[in-house]
Structure 1
Amino acid sequence: MVRRKGIYQIKIRNQQLICSFCQNNEFTHREVYLDRVTFNKDEKEKLTLQSFTCTSCGDIRLFQEKFRYDHSLQKHISIIEYTEVIKNEQNR
């Protein structure tokens, strides 16, 4: 697992990620690596999941990393956008 330090607001395909339970929009991030094995084959498929944990209630959301082709940039970019939330020391 890899963890990004900090708190983030997340957009998935340009839609703001909101916690279903508490309506919070701030999450911590962890990248999770899994091996998926099928019963019919001896092959393993490696999956990378992006895990977002709500900073308010602790609900966890998992998304598989996917890419889309951006015609204006002429390259593939992630469907997940991270914006780090900077907390003012006076607000803590």
Structure 2
Amino acid sequence: MVRRRGIYEVNVIGKPLVCLFCQDTKFRHREVYVKLTNHEPGVQKKKLTLQSFSCVACAHEMKFEEQKSDGLSTIEYVQVGE
């Protein structure tokens, strides 16, 4: 798990991320790494990276898998505080 310092405003697929509970738009960010295990012999484990955002106001946590295509990401974040 990697935690980025700071407070961020986040866009997911071009739309601002808003907390479902308190409607705040500022989040703390961390990356969560998950190893997916397939129980079939000879199949390698896959690694899934989730972007986890925790609301600064109420601590509600949301996770998204980041998708990239043509060098563009589905998740954009801008640091707005420390």
Q: So what's the TM-score if we normalise by structure 1?
A: 0.80
Match of 1:46 in 2: 47
1:16 pairs with 2:16: yes
List, as ranges, runs of 4+ consecutive aligned residues in structure 1 with deviation greater than 4 Å.
none
Q: Which runs of 5+ in 1 are unaligned?
A: 70-75, 88-92
1:79 pairs with 2:74: yes
* Aligned residue type for 1:62: K
Which has the larger Rg?
1
**Which protein has greater RCO, CA pairs closer than 8 Å, 6+ apart?**
2
Match of 2:58 in 1: 57
Q: Partners in 2 of 1:8 and 1:24 — Cα distance?
A: 11
What are the superposed Cα offsets for residues 15-56 of structure 1, whole Å, 9 maximum, x if unpaired?
Answer: 000000110100000011110113345531101110000001
Aligned residues: 81
Q: So what's the TM-score if we normalise by structure 2?
A: 0.88
Q: Partners in 1 of 2:17 and 2:68 — Cα distance?
A: 17
RMSD: 1.5
Q: Which runs of 5+ in 2 are unaligned?
A: none
Aligned-pair identity (%)? 43
